[in-house]
Amino acid sequence: MGAPSFEITQDKLRYSFGLINRMTIPPALNSLDPRVHRLPITGEPGPLVPLAPLDQFGTFEVFVQPKDGKPFQHEGIVHAPNLKMAYVLAKETFTRRFTCISMYVVETRNVMVSPMSEGDMNAYDLIDEESVSYNVGEKTRYEIYHLMKRGKQQVHVGSVEASHPQEAFVEAKQMLNSEKAVHNIWAIRTRDIQFTSPEEKDLWLTLPEKKFRDAMEYRGGEKLKQFLEDRKRHPRYE
């Protein structure tokens, strides 16, 4: 091995690859990563060509229900080509590690957002009820979310029936307004949401079994203690 350094030598490559050292190392990309050598289009590093501008997918908001009896809360976003794919990607991104019992997604542009309030002001007081027209057309269900503190997440508080988003905010003000100041309100038409069906809920049943992702599984204390005592008695490592 020689003195420890970061210089990539043929010796180190052999050492690092071990038994799978059967590839030839392309001179331009003298890599230790076996995957790099499996990549068929590598060789000379190509010029860095800017990406095509059309690749960017749409944006979707993700909501997760952590426990039975707890409300859904906003967790973040994913980019996806459609609602169904957004659901799949959201499951990977947001429910991979922490136990949860349900999740749903909605396209960001279908989320209606109230103004953000300042200080102790309630965001519901910023809604202009005068200018809203009522009962125009068929009523449909809207899900309502509150932000109770800056820096925290939007939390689902209930649903209302309304014929358009502004009416939904006014309905929510009457039915769901809280004693404490609400900083920001979201309203989402229920039928725009991709929900988890009851039969899909077993998606998350295996989460508690994945012990190899649990910090509790990596207690090295006993081994360390044994080593330290051993060292005190026989200082063979000095």
Partner 1 sequence: MYGGGNIFDELKADGVELEDPVKLEAFEARIRRGEKIEPSDWMPQLYRKQLIRMIEQHANSEIIGALPEGTWITRAPGFKRKMALMAKVQDEVGHAQLLYSAAETLGKPREKMIEDLINGKSKYSNVFNYPTFTWADCCFISWLVDAGAIVNQLANVKGSYGPYCRALDRICAEESFHLKYGHHCVIYLATGSQLQRQMFQEALTRWWAPMMHFFGPSDKISMHTEILMKWKVKMGTNDDMRNQFLDMYVPKIWELGFTLPDRNLKKDTQTGRWIYTEPDWEEFKRVINGGGPCNKERLEVRRIAEERGRWVRQALKSPKTNYVTPLA
Among 25, 85, 170, 176, binds partner 1 (CB under 8 A): 85
**120 contacts partner 1 (rule: CB under 8 A):** no
Residues 51-87 as b or e (16 or more Cβ within 10 Å = b): eeeeeeeeebbbbbbbeeeeebbbbebbebeebebbb
Radius of gyration of the chain, Cα coordinates, nearest whole angstrom: 28
Residues numbered 145 to 164 that lie near partner 1 (CB under 8 A) are 150-154
Angstrom distance (rounded) from CA 89 to CA 105:
10
In the window 183-202, what residues touch partner 1 (CB under 8 A)? 184, 186
73 in contact with partner 1 (CB under 8 A)? no
Write phi, then psi, for 32 (nearest 5 degrees): -90, -5
Q: Does 82 contact partner 1 by CB under 8 A? A: yes
Span from 155-163, 166-174, 190-198, 215-223 in contact with partner 1 (CB under 8 A): 215-223
What span, in angstroms and rounded, lies between the C-alpha atoms of 174 and 124?
9
CA distance linking residue 157 with residue 160, whole number of Å: 10
Using CB under 8 A, which of 70, 109, 141, 201 touches partner 1? Answer: 109
Residue 145 CB, nearest distance to partner 1 (Å)?
10
**In the block, residue with structure tokens 């019992």:** 101
Examine residue 76 and tell whether it contacts partner 1 (CB under 8 A): yes
β-bridge mates for residue 64, sequence order: 73, 103
CB of 111 to partner 1, least distance (A): 6
57 binds partner 1 (CB under 8 A): yes
Cβ burial of 207 (10 Å; 0-12, 13-18, 19+) is middle
Please identify, among the stretches 107-115, 120-128, 130-138, 199-207, the one whose residues bind partner 1 according to the rule CB under 8 A: 107-115
Residues in contact with partner 1, counted by CB under 8 A, come to a total of 79
Side-chain half-sphere of 86: how many Cα atoms within 13 Å? 25
- Residue type at position 103: M
Question: Pick from 25, 66, 108, 155: which binds partner 1 (CB under 8 A)?
Answer: 108
Q: Which of residues 6-45 bind partner 1 (CB under 8 A)?
A: 6-8, 12, 15-16, 18, 29, 31-36, 39, 41-42, 45
Candidate list 51, 133, 191, 197; residue touching partner 1; CB under 8 A: 51
- Which of 186, 29, 28, 202 is CA-nearest to residue 100? 202
